[in-house]
Structure 1
């Protein structure tokens, strides 16, 4: 009988539990995306919006699409993207020091109470080479219906705090928002929503400081691409390239 394939989610969950036993300063989170496996279903984007109660105009996870070749030899590629949690994030340049935190595990935290206003958003947006930041304008999908639906008014837990967009508590409205690797899930022992929802098995997550982690195994074995790495940003999202999605096709979307 053929050898049973290892379940990637079970392996990553075990890796996560092991890393959570270490102090935060000893962890270094990393996301790995196998571009060859992405089927363009957008399940990761939907899961992300549901998990983070994202309003209109805010989508931490985006799946870009591009085509390569000429008829009849045309190929379509799907490239998931989100905040890269840069080690040297250009988006925070010139911001007050109390507006953000660079966590020792690599996650870039935006403090919503200090990151408010359209003008500040435009500054941050112009400095992010990944187009990964969004402005919460306070809109609701069900605003023009008889009532706001519970799925829009329920709390979200960005960065581990409780946020309410209906004015009944701390609110992310008017704030600059972005992906945070589902920090609230990580600290509760769960993988990011996009990783657990990926139908094609293209998403991986783990601790860069764990030599035995699945993410490190993949990065060591495969050709990789870090978007805009030459600019010194130090992205923590790494793309695996191969026969289908090459460096060239990846850069068509992300370059």
Structure 2
């Protein structure tokens, strides 16, 4: 069974925000909505200080807490692990946003544009179906499905790979089928120390974060990400 997973190599991420920009361009999200954003975090006390850039977004959980609270079954989980939202069923109650421990969901009540009036690009990409409903990262599911139809491999072939992964200048984002032991993401995780955000909640997040095995920082980082998200909603 296929399970799409994204690995984030925190040793390589430079905090350039290119993944954020690529996501906004690919998905035409309005101002203030960032399906892929990068947290800038510092740890320790002078002179032993560390800094980490942490890409976050929907974790496409094995047991997503956003799913059972949805009163209209708009939130669904596909057999390949991707969590989706049916905009035709969503009534905008935002129960899913409240239940998400990763603060990965957004709701835009009315159309907004970067400079007041829509630019040519914004006008072409504007989608009325995404107003007054919950939205989030989908791992660029349309790219994945179309690529598979044409025999492409997500995570290997750019046309079938999430936009944020394609854009990463440091190759810090890796995407693939974690159930395939020969996939790029499985091979990387097999030889790397990694952790998942708030794994103790039992959500089974499908973004894996890589860090040096001898460094205790991941425990502190995982514990502080939620606070950082609350400070920068």
TM (norm. structure 2) is 0.84
Whether the 8 Å CA contact 1:53–1:154 is kept in 2: the answer is: no
Alignment correspondent of 2:91:
116
Say which SS state the counterpart of residue 115 (structure 1) adopts.
coil
Alignment correspondent of 1:140:
112
Offset of residue 75 of structure 1 = 2.7
Aligned ranges for residues 166-181 of structure 1 at < 5 Å?
A: 167=128, 171-181=129-139
Provide the rounded CA distance (Å) in 2 between the counterparts of 1:152 and 1:245.
Answer: 44
Alignment correspondent of 1:74:
49
Runs of at least 5 residues in structure 1 that lack an aligned partner in the other structure: 1-25, 156-163
Q: 2:163 aligns with which of 183, 193, 200?
A: 193
Whether the 8 Å CA contact 2:62–2:206 is kept in 1: the answer is: yes
Offset of residue 253 of structure 1 = 4.3
How large is the RMSD of aligned CA atoms in angstroms? 1.9
Say which SS state the counterpart of residue 73 (structure 2) adopts.
helix
Provide the rounded CA distance (Å) in 2 between the counterparts of 1:60 and 1:102.
Answer: 18
Q: 2:174 aligns with which of 191, 198, 204?
A: 204
Offset of residue 210 of structure 1 = 1.1
Whether the 8 Å CA contact 1:77–1:249 is kept in 2: the answer is: no
Whether the 8 Å CA contact 1:207–1:213 is kept in 2: the answer is: yes
Which gives a bigger RCO, structure 1 or 2 (Cα 8 Å, sep 6+)? 1
Moved segments of 4+, more than 4 Å: none
Provide the rounded CA distance (Å) in 1 between the counterparts of 2:146 and 2:139.
Answer: 13
Aligned ranges for residues 43-62 of structure 1 at < 5 Å?
A: 43-62=18-37
Whether the 8 Å CA contact 1:57–1:134 is kept in 2: the answer is: no
Is 1:99 the counterpart of 2:99? The answer is no
Alignment correspondent of 2:154:
none
Offset of residue 233 of structure 1 = 0.4
Alignment correspondent of 1:225:
195
TM (norm. structure 1) is 0.77
Alignment correspondent of 2:221:
250
Equivalenced residues, count: 213
Is 1:88 the counterpart of 2:63? The answer is yes
Is 1:234 the counterpart of 2:204? The answer is yes
Provide the rounded CA distance (Å) in 1 between the counterparts of 2:124 and 2:216.
Answer: 38
Cα deviation per residue 1:51-81 (whole Å; 9 max; x = unaligned)? 0000023110010011123334433210001
Is 1:151 the counterpart of 2:121? The answer is yes
Alignment correspondent of 2:7:
32
Offset of residue 136 of structure 1 = 1.8
Say which SS state the counterpart of residue 66 (structure 2) adopts.
helix
Runs of at least 5 residues in structure 2 that lack an aligned partner in the other structure: 148-159, 227-233
Say which SS state the counterpart of residue 51 (structure 1) adopts.
helix
